[in-house]
Amino acid sequence: MIESTLRLSTANLTELEHLALNSELNVADGHARQQLSEGQQRIIDELPTLFEKAAVQPVADLERDAHRAFFHLMGQQSYPIGPNPVLSCYASSVAMEILARSLVTKTDAVALIHPTFDNIPDILRGVGLRLVPLEEDPLHAGDLSSVVPPDVGCIFVTTPNNPTGRVLTRERLAELAAECRRKDVVLALDTSFRGFDTRSHYDHYAVLEASGCRWVVIEDTGKLWPTLDLKVGLLAYSENVGLPIPKIYSDILLGVSPFILALVERFAEDAAGDGLADLHAFVAESRRIVRTTLADVPGVSFPDPDSRVSVERVDLGGRRCADVWSALHERQVYALPCTQFHWADPSLGDRSLRIALARPHTSLRAAVRELRAVLLAH
Ligand code: EGV
């Protein structure tokens, strides 16, 4: 139904991901679809017990334990507890919607990282906010005063970014927070992909709090573990944020399922055993499969050599992603065009694709071999 009416040029990325859901060769969405590890399988084998535990334990305890396990796994020891506790949401996009609705009560414009996943600009624009693009190069190096433009009420940065994998360093975050403090602008971070990259495991909350700026952070448990989209988005904010975040949260939800909180705690504890090393090795091998399979295709290159996130951009060397996407589609292979990530200037993404890496390696290899054949023919 959707398929017959969808136009590649007007579809958003999530609509294109939806097309891919029933294909074995789905390398479109950034959700975790790899096999369960042995330790994770043991948790799944005990789900009835976990359900019983979640049904009897006070929700406040479950939520506190899940938050602690997750934030500590990510190196975020200074996450807020106390007067402004982290709010659990059904998904990080729900947290994003709550942030957008809160922001629009106080400001009409946001400076947003460019490129990034298109549902972020769409949600911000959806509440009527005007967007100013924030390019990655000036964000990461050089004079920061121009990075925070006049008349915006918020700077929004995805780190590690999706799809480029670029990470805001501790030093740069401190500089940016100081600049936001000086200009009284809210600093908002989306750290949904941080689990994949230890370079983003320094304690962001300590840096943000030390700056005195007004800040919001959106975290996500959904990209890491193959839990069939049982996940939470987490919405953290500073005591001085000056936005009606808890009020708007209450407009949208009472809370998330205690069962999912218990599941998140167990997966975070399991991952803490090896500090996520297994997952990192798995994604590194996925990336190697993509790069080696395409290595000898004329013109093709990988624009994010340092990326560690669970998606990989492929520069098509002048081929248009619309042509390659359509040829892949004919073979039931689904990747994402990068066009829509470049929300302020789609033409900048016209010659690259994004490949999802959190897949069983057999499926990933099969999909990338098809991509190789398509590229050699174009
Ligand atoms: C990625 C899609 C939406 C999002 C996919 C994603 N969800 N639109 N609410 O989860 O990188 O593929 O982030």
Token look-up 């949904």 returns 192
3-state DSSP helix/strand/coil % of the chain, to nearest 5: 45, 15, 40
Give the position, in ligand 1's atom list, of the atom nearest the Cα of 30. Answer: 12
Ligand 1 centroid distance, CA of 118 (Å): 9
Q: What is the DSSP string of 1-48?
A: -HHHH--TTT--HHHHHHHHTT-TEE--S-S--SPPPHHHHHHHHTHH
Ligand 1 centroid distance, CA of 91 (Å): 10
Q: What does the pLDDT read at residue 78? A: 98
CA dihedral 58, 61, 65, 67 (to 10 degrees): 100
Helix (H, G, I), strand (E, B) or coil at 296: coil
Give the position, in ligand 1's atom list, of the atom nearest the Cα of 336. Answer: 12
Ligand 1 centroid distance, CA of 249 (Å): 20
Q: Alpha-carbon torsion 24, 30, 36, 42, what sign?
A: negative
Q: How far apart are CA 144 and CA 176, in angstroms?
A: 7
Ligand 1 centroid distance, CA of 314 (Å): 19
Q: How far apart are CA 341 and CA 339, in angstroms?
A: 6
C-beta atoms surrounding 192 within 10 Å: 28
Residue-by-residue pLDDT tens, the chain, 378 positions: 445 567 888 899 999 999 999 999 999 999 999 999 999 999 999 999 999 999 999 999 999 999 999 999 999 999 999 899 999 999 999 999 999 999 999 999 999 999 999 999 999 999 999 999 999 999 999 999 889 998 999 999 999 999 999 999 999 999 999 999 999 999 999 999 999 999 999 999 999 999 999 999 999 999 999 999 999 999 999 999 999 999 999 999 999 999 999 999 999 999 999 889 999 999 999 999 999 999 999 999 999 999 999 999 999 999 999 999 999 999 999 999 999 999 999 999 999 999 999 999 999 999 999 999 999 999
Query: Quick one: how far is CA 215 from the chain centroid?
Result: 18
Give the position, in ligand 1's atom list, of the atom nearest the Cα of 192. Answer: 13
Ligand 1 pocket, 14 CB below 6 A? Answer: yes
Distances (CA, A) of 336 to 210, 261, 288: 39, 31, 19
Ligand 1 centroid distance, CA of 162 (Å): 10
Give the position, in ligand 1's atom list, of the atom nearest the Cα of 28. Answer: 12
Ligand 1 pocket, 117 CB below 6 A? Answer: yes
User: What is the amino acid identity at position 363?
Assistant: S
Burial class, 111, CB count within 10 angstroms (exposed 0-12 / middle 13-18 / buried 19+) = buried
Ligand 1 pocket, 163 CB below 6 A? Answer: no
Query: Quick one: how far is CA 321 from the chain centroid?
Result: 22
Give the position, in ligand 1's atom list, of the atom nearest the Cα of 17. Answer: 12
Nearest to 368 by CA among 265, 305, 299, 290: 290
Q: What does the pLDDT read at residue 8? A: 85
Ligand 1 pocket, 339 CB below 6 A? Answer: no
Q: What does the pLDDT read at residue 275? A: 81
Ligand 1 pocket, 119 CB below 6 A? Answer: yes
Q: What does the pLDDT read at residue 4? A: 52
Ligand 1 pocket, 159 CB below 6 A? Answer: no
Give the position, in ligand 1's atom list, of the atom nearest the Cα of 31. Answer: 12
Q: What does the pLDDT read at residue 3? A: 54
Probe residue for ligand 1, chosen from 12, 15, 16, 17 as the CB with the greatest number of ligand atoms within 8 Å: 17
Residues found in the chain? 378
Give the position, in ligand 1's atom list, of the atom nearest the Cα of 163. Answer: 11
The three-point CA angle 247-251-253 to 5° equals: 105
Domains and CATH numbers, the chain: 2-38+273-377 (3.90.1150.10), 56-268 (3.40.640.10)
Q: What does the pLDDT read at residue 1? A: 43
Q: What is the DSSP string of 198-265?
A: GGG-S-HHHHHHHHT--EEEEEESTTTS-STT---EEEEE-TT--S-HHHHHHHH-S---HHHHHHHH
Residue nearest to atom 13 of ligand 1 (CA): 30
Q: What is the pTM of this model?
A: 0.97
Q: How far apart are CA 273 and CA 189, in angstroms?
A: 27
Ligand 1 pocket, 12 CB below 6 A? Answer: no
Ligand 1 pocket, 29 CB below 6 A? Answer: yes
Q: What does the pLDDT read at residue 209? A: 98
